[in-house]
Amino acid sequence: MGLLKGKVAIITGAGGGLGEAYAKLFAKEGAAVVVNDLGSTLDGSGTSAAAENVVSEIIATGGRAVANGDDVSTPAGGENILRTAIDAFGQIDILVCNAGILRDRTFANISEEDWDVVVKVHLKGTYCCTLPVWRWLRSNARPGVIIMTSSTSGLFGNFGQANYGAAKAGIYGFIRVLSMEGRKYGIRVMGVAPNAITRMWADVPGFQDGDPDPILSPENVAPGVLFMASELAADHSGKVLAVSGEEIAEIKMLTSAGFHPKGNYTAEEVAAHASSVFFPADLKRLPMKT
């Protein structure tokens, strides 16, 4: 029996790359899948038959899937994506917000258009797709799972990606808040920060230098996302996992030991307690507990 038998999943941006890998694995594990995809190019322009092609491959292997070509970044698009799931399969259990674009520039060279469209697709797109699903789950007293895509570019920073990083950091806050609001409704919310070589790597220096490392394929991210969507992760919500073929690890915001002045204090006192206020500069990750 598959981990998602009897479930219905929406996966946005599933016409290729990570979304395609998720859709095919979810279908293999028993889910009926709505394969959403709009853009055929990295910057979000153009359209293609990518979603239909993925659906055809899923059906050819005995799975259930339908295509949807709506724009994730509009409220109407989000509503239509949900309607596709309800019309085709009668329910929704899992939403994976994966759709995204890139318009990388150093901050001084980012146009307002490039800022707005990246935030619109990633952050607003996650909102537009999540809201109708959230309301449907609540109205039907049905538990569900919503998985949002953050990024190490937003959680740690990455040169030349101020627009993308800001959107992905915003998604982290969205995950944390909705995980709290979803508790009493049985709605789990998790985040994935994937590391895989997809078409988004096409302009990264060195990408064309030799064959990409197969360990960083989208197919090696998909099992981690399947874990989050399944009952195997029933005890987890509000958490973000970095996922690749090399590592699966939780990423979280932490507070240092801190300086506790108990009232009035001076800037000089803050400086004197810098070793408590700041984490050690060489701290790469939390020590493992044994």
What is the reported pTM? 0.92
Q: Which of 22, 127, 164, 172 is catalytic?
A: 164
CA pair distance 201, 42, nearest whole angstrom? 10
Cβ atoms of 217 and 228 within 8 Å: the answer is: no
Q: How confident is the model at residue 44 (pLDDT cuts 50, 70, 90)?
A: low
Cβ atoms of 14 and 54 within 8 Å: the answer is: yes
Tokens, residue 6: 């009897």
Q: How confident is the model at residue 27 (pLDDT cuts 50, 70, 90)?
A: very high
Cβ atoms of 77 and 58 within 8 Å: the answer is: no
164 classed as catalytic: yes
pLDDT digits (tens, 9 = 90+) for 102-118: 999 999 999 999 999 99
pLDDT digits (tens, 9 = 90+) for 192-218: 999 987 665 555 444 445 556 788 899
Mean pLDDT of the residues in the chain: 91
pLDDT digits (tens, 9 = 90+) for 248-269: 999 999 999 999 999 999 999 9
CATH superfamily of 8-251: NAD(P)-binding Rossmann-like Domain (3.40.50.720)
